[in-house]
Structures are given as structure tokens and as C-alpha cells.
């Protein structure tokens, strides 16, 4: 069993966070260090450390992460202009928190996907 991260405590509301959505499968909250006007993290309620650890049983929660991203983008009024969804994996991907999460970024032109 992988070690819990701070995200499990946020999901269980044991520590404060700006939670903007929660259901039986996923939780979404504002990133503490926003990189864009909208920067929301969408996480499964169960601990899956990285994309490498996903399996068929996780498909419902992983799919919900996308549909919740679309719902929140509409709520934040960034759907039409567009936005970016990012999931970092491990060291080369720049993953810092080992509880899989999707970044929803938008509210301004985000530029090229990778700095060159
Ligand atoms: P990643 O590099 O993909 O693992 O992203 C981790 C993200 O989690 C970063 O954007 C952090 O700013 C964010 N983060 C870390 N701790 C917290 C926290 N307590 N509440 C909200 N966001 C956090």
C-alpha cells in the first residue's frame, strides 16, 4: 500500500483546502500555488500514486476526472476560450505529489505546451 499524501487529508477534510467539488469518486480543489487564473486539481478519492499504477478498476474514477474537469471549466467560464489538462508522472514528468491528479489550467492564453 502506497503512502498517503497531503491530498488524502484534503479529501477527508482533515486539513483546510479550497474544495470546489466533491462526489463519491473525485475531489477538486484550487491549487495552492496557481500557475494560471484558474488552476484546479482534480483527484480520485482513492489513492493511486501515479499513472503507472492505474488499472481497469480505476477507469470510472479516471473518467470522472475528465467529466468533472469539463463541468468546472464551464462553471469557471473558461470552456469556450479553452484550457489545458495535465497529469504529470514521476520524475521526468515533474510529479511532486504521489496521489494522481489532473491540473485544470486556464483563464489566459497558456502558450506552447513545453518550453523549448
Ligand atoms: P505535480 O507537480 O503535478 O505533482 O503537482 C502538485 C501540485 O500540488 C502543485 O501544483 C502544488 O502547488 C499543489 N499542491 C501541493 N500541496 C497543495 C495543497 N496543500 N493544496 C493545494 N495544492 C497543493
Tens-digit pLDDT profile for the chain (116 aa)? 789 999 999 999 999 999 999 999 999 999 999 999 999 999 999 999 999 999 999 999 999 999 999 999 999 999 999 999 999 999 999 999 999 999 999 999 999 998 76
Give how far the C-alpha of residue 67 lies from the chain's centroid of Cα atoms, to the nearest Å.
12
Give the largest Cα separation in the chain, rounded. Answer: 41
CA 80 to centroid of ligand 1, rounded, Å: 26
| Every domain of the chain and the residues it spans | 6-106
- pLDDT score at 96: 98
From the list 21, 69, 27, 74, the residue with the least C-alpha distance to 46 is 27
- Burial annotation 33-65 (CB, 10 A radius, 16+ → b, else e): eeebebbbbbbbbebbbbeeeeeeebeebbebb
CATH architecture assignment, domain 6-106: 2-Layer Sandwich (3.30)
Order of strands across the sheet with 19-22? 19-22, 26-30, 38-44, 102-106, 83-86
* Whether the CB of 91 sits within 6 Å of ligand 1: no
Locate the ligand 1 atom nearest the alpha carbon of residue 96 and give its number: 4
Cα–Cα nearest to 98, from 27, 23, 44? 44
Q: What is the pTM of this model?
A: 0.97
Q: How far is the CA of 101 from the centre of ligand 1 (A)?
A: 9
Query: Candidates 19, 33, 90: which one to mutate for ligand 1, based on the most atoms within 8 Å of Cβ?
Result: 33
Amino acid at each position: 500500500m502506497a503512502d498517503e499524501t497531503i491530498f488524502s487529508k484534503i479529501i477527508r477534510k482533515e486539513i483546510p483546502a479550497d474544495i470546489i467539488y466533491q462526489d463519491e469518486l473525485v475531489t477538486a480543489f484550487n491549487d495552492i500555488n496557481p500557475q494560471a487564473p484558474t488552476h484546479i486539481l482534480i483527484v480520485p478519492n482513492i489513492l493511486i500514486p501515479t499513472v503507472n499504477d492505474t488499472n481497469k478498476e480505476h477507469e470510472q474514477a479516471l473518467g470522472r476526472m475528465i467529466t468533472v474537469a469539463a463541468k468546472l471549466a464551464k462553471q469557471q467560464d473558461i470552456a469556450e476560450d479553452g484550457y489545458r489538462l495535465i497529469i504529470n508522472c514521476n520524475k521526468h514528468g515533474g510529479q511532486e505529489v504521489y496521489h494522481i491528479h489532473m491540473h485544470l489550467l486556464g483563464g489566459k492564453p497558456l502558450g506552447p505546451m513545453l518550453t523549448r
